[in-house]
């Protein structure tokens, strides 16, 4: 099991290669975290097309797609093609870009945990790519056990901390 980090949208945009149901879930997670994303696929779901902050490029993946300014913060390969996913994974790793290869966890350099979000509170569950379905099920169990409203407590705690440190809430650090 690796280190779980909370990557912020200021890290840069995300590239999603694929436009089907797995891509839809990944794009939804990126949008919830307020990442800008580009989706490259010959066809995409309606939900992907309607997601705010997402640019859709309807065509096949090309190796030059990994060269982007600003650089991609992360890449997700989730097409229905093993060979395309392998190629995207190889190219991203060679370029030093964190990559999730949806159909081959051993080719991935990161995983996206199942996340419960309530305001600024985020609780993540990861199986290290072994079983995303199990992670989602555990996430739902945790959400049911803790219930809603914790985000407000986190916001109050932030304001109290900032007051103790003599900073305004937006001066995070």
pLDDT tens by residue, 56-113: 999 999 999 999 999 999 999 999 999 999 999 999 999 999 999 999 999 999 999 8
The CATH code that applies to domain 9-107 is 3.40.50.720
Task: Classify residue 166 by its DSSP letter.
Answer: T
Q: Please write the tens of the pLDDT for every residue from 91-100.
A: 999 999 999 9
Q: How confident is the model at residue 172 (pLDDT cuts 50, 70, 90)?
A: low
The full set of domain ranges for the chain reads 9-107, 114-165
- Kindly tell me if the per-residue pLDDT of 167 is higher than 80: no
Closest CA to 35 of 76, 7, 57: 7
For residue 35, give Cα distances in angstroms to 10, 27, 52, 116.
Answer: 8, 9, 10, 17
The whole-model pTM stands at 0.82
């Amino acid at each position: 099991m690796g280190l779980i980090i909370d990557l912020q949208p200021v890290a840069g945009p995300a590239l999603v290669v694929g436009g089907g149901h797995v891509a839809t879930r990944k794009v939804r997670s990126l949008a919830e975290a307020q990442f800008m994303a580009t989706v490259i696929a010959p066809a995409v779901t309606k939900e992907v097309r309607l997601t705010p902050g997402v640019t859709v490029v309807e065509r096949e993946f090309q190796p030059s797609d990994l060269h982007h300014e600003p650089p991609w913060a992360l890449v997700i390969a989730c097409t229905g093609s093993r060979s395309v996913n392998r190629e995207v994974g190889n190219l991203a790793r060679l370029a030093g870009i964190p990559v999730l290869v949806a159909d081959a966890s051993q080719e991935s350099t990161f995983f996206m945990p199942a996340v419960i979000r309530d305001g600024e509170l985020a609780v993540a569950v990861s199986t290290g790519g072994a079983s995303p379905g199990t992670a989602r099920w555990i996430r739902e169990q945790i959400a049911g056990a803790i219930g809603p409203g914790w985000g407000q407590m986190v916001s109050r705690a932030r304001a109290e901390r900032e007051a103790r440190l003599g900073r305004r809430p937006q001066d995070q650090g």
